[in-house]
Chain A
Amino acid sequence: MSRLAQGGLIDRAKPLQFTFDGKRYSGFAGDTLASALIANDVRLVARSFKYHRPRGIVTAGSEEPNALVELRDGARREPNSRATTAELYDGLTAESQNRWPSLAFDAMAVNQLFAPFFGAAFYYKTFMWPKAAWEKLYEPMIRRAAGLGRASELPDPDHYDKVQAHCDLLVIGAGPAGLAAALTAGRAGARVILVDEDFRLGGRLNTENVEIDGSAGLDFVAATEAELRALPNLRVLTRTTAFGVYDDTYAALERVADHLAEPAPYQPRQRLWRINARRAVLAAGALDRPIVFGGNDRPGVMLAAAMETYVSRFAAAPASRLAVFANNDAAWGSAFAAHDAGVTVSALIDTRADVSPVLAAKAKARGLRVVLGGRICDAHGKALTAIDIVAGGRTERLAVDGLAMSGGFSPNLQLTCHHNGKPVWNDDIAAFVPGTPPPGMSVAGAANGSYDLGDCLREGAARAVGALADLGIAATALTVATATLNGTAVSAFWHVAEARTKAFVDFQNDVCASDIVLAEKEGFRSVEHLKRYTTLGMATDQGKLSNMPGLAIMAAITGKSIPETGTTVFRPPYTPVAIGALAGHHRGKDFRPTRLTPLHGWAREQGAVFIEAGPWLRAQYFPRGAEKTWDQAVNREVRAVREGVGLIDVSTFGKIDLRGRDVGAFLDRVYINTFSTLAVGKTRYGLMLREDGFVMDDGTTARLAPDRWVMTTTTANAAKVFQHLEFCAQVLWPELDVQLTSVSEQWAQVAIAGPRARDVLARVIDDPATIDNGAFPYMSAMETRVMGGVRARVFRLSFAGDLGFEIAVPARQGEALARALMQAGAEFDITPYGLETLGVMRIEKGHVTTNELNGQTTALDLGFGKMAKKGDFIGKVMAGRPGLVDPDRPRLAGFKPVDPNDRLRAGAHFIAVGAAATTENDLGWMTSTTWSPTFGHALGLGFVKGGTARIGERLRAVDPLRGGDVLVEVCNPVFFDPEGVRLRG
């Protein structure tokens, strides 16, 4: 066991059991999977992407490139989970990934032997011979070898939440800088949200042994946390990563239950926070970075800052004999911490020839061996066993089982780049610092390149004061008199030229220094090309560790400076985010809202089968008795209407109330035909175009009173038409007196159709005399009363093409109306019918719907050319363009099979008899088809060149997709009652 006997922020009273690759281990509450593995002496935890090299744990945070595991099992298996951020819970299970048959013996490691041929982008240059082998052989092989973990392939059993929050100040990161910012703003009374991705507040204070105003750093954290949590205006969110900066909105992911075996009942697993923050302070700290030398990827090599975290925060020693390799002061602090905790520090190798006397003295006091001006060129062992130190022209091999490296820190400035801001180079700290952050964001502490603890605290407080001042909120900066002064000096050093073995830049994607050399030789010199050619920085850690050394090596080869070389772009998310969290509750049946008509309950009582019609659920048909298939029901329903009477729920139509002096003039401008002449008590069919001359929608509009009209739109276009009319009324013609109100929800609407329709209505309407054919002819409309005083609107219309009425009543009366009609029609065998039957009858009648009004058709195409009036209307001018009036455009016609036994299918194309079925000979296509019980054969509507001029002609309707080739006759699209006798009867 490498668990140190004392210290650490773990709860030794709470032991926890877990398994890794099936083997049982134990750790403590407060551990991460990584710290627990280290405490159990597990070094080898993963295999790399390309060469399947053995890998260990490199970091102690979300930047981990190597220690990725499959966490949990079954449907909850999560590939590519970072052991360094997975909190230990009792019963945790994890498996290593991307290895076969086992982690210790991975057959794919033979890839390393071929490494000379597997350099950067090798796949673009090979696998082309023979041609067919790419897809048959090479690609499947590559795909199997690539990828990391395995998805569960089962539906995710957990659920997710999304929350909106609003605040004056969002503080990202709860290290000293963030805590100072939050406390300053919180005390000022501002609305503050403080997020940290860790499960503890404190940031580096949880690791480093420092003092603030005379007390321990951890005490400062505890006191600050207590005060923050007590403030009502401040919200603290731990386990919450701010991952993206969008316009006016920060996105953060809270891992609500990932530290539990499974979420408590009704607890979401994770929560997506969308935060509208007026100002933000980014205090995300800085990340230690690796140095590129031979074998720097071996298990046992880790970042110095991480080593210190394992030792100090988790009381887990990553090594028994440790060397430290660095170019900066901070790593010396890490070495001291390890030594002070009882870990043997065999050597402290610094690339610098000089360090501050203070550091030197501290090392001396501890009796540490220090090598100045030295480098490690290679590390050895499957798990680290030895290192080669180069100093003073000599190479020395030193046996160690742990190496802590530090190439200096890189500020965590990713979020400052999400609005295309570019970082700027700071030579003093050999790092990029934030350039232009997104509007409203300022940066404090190590994220801003300020590495001294006192500076971090002061800067955090000052940024909060500044941000609140912008908002007119006065705040007093938290004051700190003294804070531990740790050395912060650094001298740029990236790559050990003497390395003899593979030196890794991007650990996860196996990008080596040699790959960068190759990329440069082949002309991929821009950092963005370098990235894409070598995959540097494209792994799950997004180059948090590798980008800096990679571009520094490129800069060195090309002889350019680092700022001239530049960085690649940081994009959201800061760390990968579960897709489920971004979806929240909108999945399964709740993917989109379901709309129910006011007659839904009645239709269900009647045994309806429902179908999704856009957002609506509508009755499709009403099976009866022994009917086995849907078409049996539909044929019965059609016959019932044609021979007697049927009723259907048409409540889904859009209904728009128009009121005002100028409604007539307004409608004249939005419809192609005239409405201003429509008499009160009449309704008219209208066609609406878009301004580009194509049909937008059709429907009827009735005039109920001189200044009150009601329009119906198609179900599909209800919202679109309302928006369009609002545009016309508010923007185009504000001078017209028109008020628009959507009354779609208020009215239930039922259509009754069939020869007996009037007889039925007569028994339900309060004054039957008013619906006499004379008093109420076809295309009449009135406001009236039904069922003994219920307000109603009755329209004499029929989409089905029969004698018909549509009756609208207030929605709550809808089901009562349906029942009343059913009762009144019982003696005529009144039959409820559904969408499917309506579809049959409208085709029989040649009425067009979405299949025909698909946005590609003109009024002429539909045979409505004559409807267009002389004066202006929307779409008039553009509809006159040659392409739209071309006589060669396919026009609407009807079709029937020459052999009545043939079936027609929508989507078939028309070809002249004797002509080949090719694009050149394509005459048009079938839009809608049905088997017509009324005619005893199939019917179709479609667009064909020449349109109704071809009536009587025979064409092939070819349907190669389904092997169809049917001889059809072109007909009048109105099959049923072409003279309209039924309608008017």
Chain B
Amino acid sequence: MNSETVRISHSPIDTAAETRAVAEAASNIGAVVTFSGICRADEKGAQISALHLEHYPGMAEQEIESHVEEARKRWPLFAARVVHRVGRIMPGETIVFVATASAHREAAFAAAEFIMDYLKTSAPFWKKTEGGGKEIWVDANEKDERAAARWQK
């Protein structure tokens, strides 16, 4: 896996370029799955004007890389890529992007979901919403904890 597999980005993510890089990583790729987590214009019913994403530099990359490595042990992947945005993010912009490439679709789908589920619960990122003059830290989601738990062997 090259050093580009996991990246923290302070500027908007070019999901088309990232997808292309994964899709072209090998000649026998038959399936590419991408996931884009997008900043919604509302959070729990309240309009927001922006999100602030904070991360723990060093640990964030390490955590995601270890999840990608675990995914590669479980499924035959030709390539994987995770880009996580930090800083101020506007509605409609991509917060996190995951792409996986395999010979067949089952592995590509499962690996992308697996990476996202773990990223949600154990990668050190924190979201704060900005809207109506207030800044509010987003609470952790129990549903995410359950989603990650389903992969435990």
Interaction A to B: no
Listed in ascending order, the chain A residues whose CB lies under 8 Å from chain B are none
Listed in ascending order, the chain B residues whose CB lies under 8 Å from chain A are none
